[in-house]
Structure 1
Amino acid sequence: MDSIFGWLMLIVGALLLVVEALTPGFFVAVPATILIVMGLLVVLAPGLLTFPWGLIIFALVTIVVSIATILFYRRLAPGHKPIVTGEDSLAGKTGEVIRDVVPGSIDGKVKVDEQIWSATSAEKIEAGQRVRVIRAEGVHIIVCRLTDVTEGGECKK
């Protein structure tokens, strides 16, 4: 009976690892690894579950395997720092208008460095045009056509 339970734990653990591989997110990697290790223990030492200290051994192994798995996956896939974009870092960058930019409105949209910003301008700029960011104000940017930028980085009047 222990052997069947051990094999069942191995199979479920392996299936969970397959799920983790298909939809990565680290949600089932730890339980999958624990099930595989516990399944191996039960298959290799069938009387372990009936042994008086069996539950304590299982608890200790679970803790050790959990910590080892978490450390392994942290090393395998280190975290990434979030992209931080401040007002100063946007000025002077170029982008592409993806929704018409209209004076007096921040409904226009401009893609700058893979990020989409609400934008306004002194004149209407159609979608598809290349623009230069003059400055950022809060959550939107002020832009002008790339062809209208002076040597000093300002828009031609």
Structure 2
Amino acid sequence: MTGTWRHLPAAAREIAVAASDAVAAAQARDAGAYEPAVDRLTGVDRAGLVLGGVVRLLLEETHPDGLDGDDVRQVLERCVRDVAAWRPDVDPHVLLVLLASALGVYDPGDDDTPPDPAAIARHAPLLVADLLAASGRPVSGYLTTAFAEVARTELHD
């Protein structure tokens, strides 16, 4: 286990370890390692919330002047194109929901059923790995910040 996660409660530690493993597998395009990591993410409550926070942080860092529709489309297209070679089951709609949710603009409306937690767990590490390539930094710092934001939000709610 990574020593940096020892201070976290057990559930948060499981998210951190599984997310780190899934992102590393996505970066390496290692389907054999990816599957068990996302299976662990699927079984942990609030993993999507934390990974959504990581996506938001990465989007803010890689687009400091903000994002417009073209930026979102470019991120989506790049991620799908890069991932499809080793994950032909990638669903662009799930990635778009992840992007829109991280930006706080997702509204499922009457005609759209939100992706289930398993679909989110299977796609969020792919998007994080893609965005990390642009940042050049490890996922651990983003996870730490995302956990702090979740804790701060829960404290004030």
Q: Give the TM-score range, shorter chain.
A: under 0.3
- Structure number with greater Rg is 1
User: TM-score, normalising length from structure 2?
Assistant: 0.24
Q: Which has the higher helix share?
A: 2
Q: Which has the higher strand share?
A: 1
User: TM-score, normalising length from structure 1?
Assistant: 0.24
